[in-house]
A and B are shown apart, each in its own frame.
Chain A
Amino acid sequence: AQSVTQLDSHVSVSEGTPVLLRCNYSSSYSPSLFWYVQHPNKGLQLLLKYTSAATLVKGINGFEAEFKKSETSFHLTKPSAHMSDAAEYFCVVTLNAGKSTFGDGTTLTVKP
Chain B
Amino acid sequence: GAVVSQHPSWVICKSGTSVKIECRSLDFQATTMFWYRQFPKQSLMLMATSNEGSKATYEQGVEKDKFLINHASLTLSTLTVTSAHPEDSSFYICSAFPDSYSNQPQHFGDGTRLSIL
Binding partners A and B: yes
Seen from chain A, the residues whose Cβ lies within 8 Å of a Cβ on chain B are: 31-32, 34, 36, 41-46, 49, 51-52, 90, 94-100, 102-105
Q: B residues near A, CB below 8 A?
A: 4, 6, 32, 34, 42-44, 46, 49, 91, 93, 95, 97, 100-103, 105-111, 113
Contacts of B42 in A (CB 8 A): 104-105
Number of A-B contacts (CB under 8 A): 56
Tell me whether A44 and B113 are in contact in the complex, defined as CB-CB below 8 angstroms, given that A32-B102, A102-B43 are known contacts: no
For the complex of A and B, 9 pairs with smallest distance between CB atoms = A51-B103, A43-B108, A44-B108, A43-B110, A96-B102, A102-B43, A32-B103, A104-B43, A94-B102
Do residues B97 and A98 form an inter-chain contact, with CB atoms below 8 A? yes
Main secondary structure of the interface of B (DSSP, over half): strand
Closest CB in chain A relative to B109 CB, distance in Å: 5
Give min CB distance, B93 to chain A, whole Å. Answer: 5
A96–B104 CA distance with the chains assembled, in angstroms: 10
Q: What chain B residues lie within 8 Å of A103 (beta carbons)? A: 43
